[in-house]
């Protein structure tokens, strides 16, 4: 199977399995797992922050960040296409009593700066208190668009002017850094906290990191325990995370080139609507002509030819590239898609 549904399907590399087998471990709730501690130091250092916390998933990392930044009744400003708003069951509201103020995401993954300014609440007894601005980089639902360093800086200026904090859902922040050709620290420096995933393009089997200031991570560690995310000999999985950070970032450029190639070829297929210039990282989201076959039917037909795509709407599909997908696989997938549309 050529699995283009997501970069979450990546399998751990042989080096990861080897590191997992050999990992030195201890009880991480006591802070005694040397491998987890090493991963947390490495992540904090790479992102240019004081401290880091190892968590089970991106969803958990975002939730812990929001629970730590906000009290009950506080409000966050978040994009209406953001994973935090769309795809985390409203966890911050359900579990933290945190209100969400969704703003229209632009096609490049940003929220308009004026929209952010206008959404910040005045001190009025009717309103919740604005506390946090959430960004997503890369922006998954918007073709994996990377947000520029300049945009992060502009949002920081607004946050500072209103004494707000910023959390970035950087599930794929290394994809952004590679696409923008900047050190990831440059992106992270304008956010108080960043969550990033080890288990997507970086290919680790499990885990995400939350990074931020020392006091913030101290509180986040409490929130992680609160929601049952304190784990014991977690070094077994943290070991793979270290290998991910040390060895898997370089590969992302190839994933981006494969996504670009896929997009350029798909744009020429009759019945597919897609602007290949919007593809800068590893996500290719494309539309089918509304009078043609629906997305789930195309997915079914290509599956019969050994290719998995993810339907993301009645006439919308996603293909994500990752290290399990070669250029030859992309060609095979293209053939399958062309054949399926011609059926
Ligand atoms: N995204 C998954 C699905 O949930 C859609 C995917 O296949 O892309 N932030 C962003 C931007 C994400 O894309 C995801 C996962 C998460 C957070 C949550 O990470 P996990 O799945 O580890 O909880």
How do residues 104-114 score in pLDDT, each as one tens digit?
999 999 999 99
Decide: 169 in ligand 1 pocket, CB within 6 A.
yes
Q: What is the mean pLDDT of residues 269-297?
A: 95
Decide: 83 in ligand 1 pocket, CB within 6 A.
yes
Instruction: Identify whether residues 323 and 174 lie together within a single domain.
Output: no
Domain that holds residue 259: 251-342
Q: Which residues contact 283 (CB under 8 A, 6 or more apart)?
A: 138, 140, 143, 144, 259, 318, 319, 320
Last residue of a domain, one of 247, 262, 280: 247
Structural domain count of the chain: 2
The atom number, within ligand 1, closest to the CA of 138 reads: 11
Q: At residue 330, does pLDDT exceed 90? A: yes
Query: What proportion of the chain, given as a percentage, has pLDDT over 70?
Result: 100
Which of 6, 64, 83, 205 most suits a substitution to test ligand 1, by most atoms within 8 Å of the C-beta? 83
Q: Pseudo-torsion of CA 86, 87, 90, 95, nearest 10°?
A: -160
The burial class, CB within 10 Å (0-12 / 13-18 / 19+), for 343 is exposed
Instruction: Identify whether residues 58 and 179 lie together within a single domain.
Output: yes
Q: At residue 313, does pLDDT exceed 90? A: yes
Query: What proportion of the chain, given as a percentage, has pLDDT over 90?
Result: 99
**CB neighbours (10 Å) of residue 250?**
9
Q: What is the mean pLDDT of residues 285-302?
A: 94
C-alpha 83 – ligand 1 centre gap (Å): 7
C-alpha 7 – ligand 1 centre gap (Å): 9
Nearest residue (by CA) to ligand 1, atom 16, is 58
Is residue 4 a part of any domain in this protein?
no
The residue whose two tokens read 């208190």 is 129
Instruction: Identify whether residues 263 and 228 lie together within a single domain.
Output: no
The number of CA neighbours under 13 Å toward the Cβ of 163 is 4
Last residue of a domain, one of 204, 227, 247: 247
Q: At residue 30, does pLDDT exceed 90? A: yes
Instruction: Identify whether residues 165 and 179 lie together within a single domain.
Output: yes
Structure tokens at 245: 């950070």
Decide: 135 in ligand 1 pocket, CB within 6 A.
no
Instruction: Identify whether residues 145 and 242 lie together within a single domain.
Output: yes
Is residue 37 a part of any domain in this protein?
yes
Distance (Å, whole) CA 148 – CA 190: 11
Is residue 75 a part of any domain in this protein?
yes
Distance (Å, whole) CA 16 – CA 34: 17
Q: What is the mean pLDDT of residues 53-62?
A: 98
Last residue of a domain, one of 247, 282, 302: 247
Instruction: Identify whether residues 160 and 189 lie together within a single domain.
Output: yes
Instruction: Identify whether residues 243 and 256 lie together within a single domain.
Output: no
Decide: 201 in ligand 1 pocket, CB within 6 A.
no
C-alpha 173 – ligand 1 centre gap (Å): 12
Nearest residue (by CA) to ligand 1, atom 21, is 58
- How far the first Cα of the chain sits from its last, in Å, is 21
More confident: 305 or 290: 305
Q: Rounded to an integer, what is the distance from CA 137 to the centroid of its chain?
A: 7
Decide: 258 in ligand 1 pocket, CB within 6 A.
no
C-alpha 262 – ligand 1 centre gap (Å): 22
C-alpha 75 – ligand 1 centre gap (Å): 22
Decide: 57 in ligand 1 pocket, CB within 6 A.
yes
Instruction: Identify whether residues 54 and 93 lie together within a single domain.
Output: yes
pLDDT at 290: 82
Q: At residue 292, does pLDDT exceed 90? A: no
Is residue 1 a part of any domain in this protein?
no
Nearest residue (by CA) to ligand 1, atom 8, is 6
Is residue 5 a part of any domain in this protein?
no
CATH number at residue 33: 3.40.640.10
Is residue 165 a part of any domain in this protein?
yes
Is residue 334 a part of any domain in this protein?
yes
Structure tokens at 283: 């996500």
Decide: 68 in ligand 1 pocket, CB within 6 A.
no
Decide: 197 in ligand 1 pocket, CB within 6 A.
yes
Instruction: Identify whether residues 129 and 45 lie together within a single domain.
Output: yes
Q: Rounded to an integer, what is the distance from CA 44 to the centroid of its chain?
A: 17
> Measuring CA to CA, which residue among 47, 24, 4 is closest to residue 195?
47
> Measuring CA to CA, which residue among 246, 320, 239, 281 is closest to residue 54?
239
CATH number at residue 307: 3.90.1150.10
pLDDT at 67: 98
pLDDT at 343: 84
User: Average per-residue pLDDT in the chain?
Assistant: 98
Q: What is the mean pLDDT of residues 326-343?
A: 96
Instruction: Identify whether residues 216 and 285 lie together within a single domain.
Output: no
pLDDT at 291: 80
C-alpha 238 – ligand 1 centre gap (Å): 19
Is residue 336 a part of any domain in this protein?
yes
Q: How confident is the model at residue 182 (pLDDT cuts 50, 70, 90)?
A: very high
**CB neighbours (10 Å) of residue 41?**
12
pLDDT at 160: 98
Instruction: Identify whether residues 102 and 171 lie together within a single domain.
Output: yes
C-alpha 326 – ligand 1 centre gap (Å): 22
Distance (Å, whole) CA 115 – CA 329: 42
Q: Which residues contact 101 (CB under 8 A, 6 or more apart)?
A: 75, 76, 77, 78, 119, 130
pLDDT at 108: 98
Instruction: Identify whether residues 151 and 285 lie together within a single domain.
Output: no
């Amino acid at each position: 199977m050529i699995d283009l549904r997501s970069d979450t399907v990546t399998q751990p590399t042989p080096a990861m399995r080897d590191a997992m087998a050999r990992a030195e471990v201890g009880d991480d709730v006591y802070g005694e797992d040397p491998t987890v501690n090493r991963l947390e130091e490495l992540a904090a250092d790479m992102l240019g922050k004081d401290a880091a916390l190892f968590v089970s998933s991106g969803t958990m990392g975002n939730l812990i960040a929001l629970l730590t930044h906000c009290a009950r009744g506080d409000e966050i400003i978040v994009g209406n296409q953001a994973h935090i708003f769309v795809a985390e069951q409203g966890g911050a509201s359900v579990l933290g009593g945190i209100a969400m103020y969704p703003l229209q995401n632009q096609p490049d993954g940003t929220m308009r700066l004026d929209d952010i300014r206008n959404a910040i609440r005045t001190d009025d007894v009717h309103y919740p208190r604005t506390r946090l601005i959430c960004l997503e980089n890369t922006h998954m639902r918007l073709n994996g668009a990377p947000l520029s360093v300049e945009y992060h800086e502009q949002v920081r200026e607004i946050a500072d002017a209103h004494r707000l904090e910023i959390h970035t859902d950087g599930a794929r922040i290394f994809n952004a850094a590679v696409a923008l050709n900047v050190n990831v620290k440059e992106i992270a420096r304008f956010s108080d906290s960043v969550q990033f995933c080890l288990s997507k393009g970086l290919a680790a089997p499990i885990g995400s990191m939350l990074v931020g200031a020392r006091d913030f991570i101290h509180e986040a560690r409490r929130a992680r325990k609160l929601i049952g995310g304190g784990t014991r000999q977690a070094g077994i999985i943290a070991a793979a995370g270290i290998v991910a950070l040390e060895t898997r970032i370089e590969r992302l450029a190839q994933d981006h080139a494969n996504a670009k190639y896929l997009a350029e070829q798909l744009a020429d297929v009759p019945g597919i609507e897609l602007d290949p210039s919007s593809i800068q990282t590893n996500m290719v989201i494309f539309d089918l002509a509304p009078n043609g076959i629906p997305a789930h039917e195309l997915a079914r037909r290509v599956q019969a030819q050994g290719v998995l795509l993810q339907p993301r709407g009645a006439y919308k599909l996603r293909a994500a590239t990752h290290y399990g997908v070669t250029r030859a696989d992309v060609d095979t997938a293209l053939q399958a898609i062309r054949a399926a549309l011609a059926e």
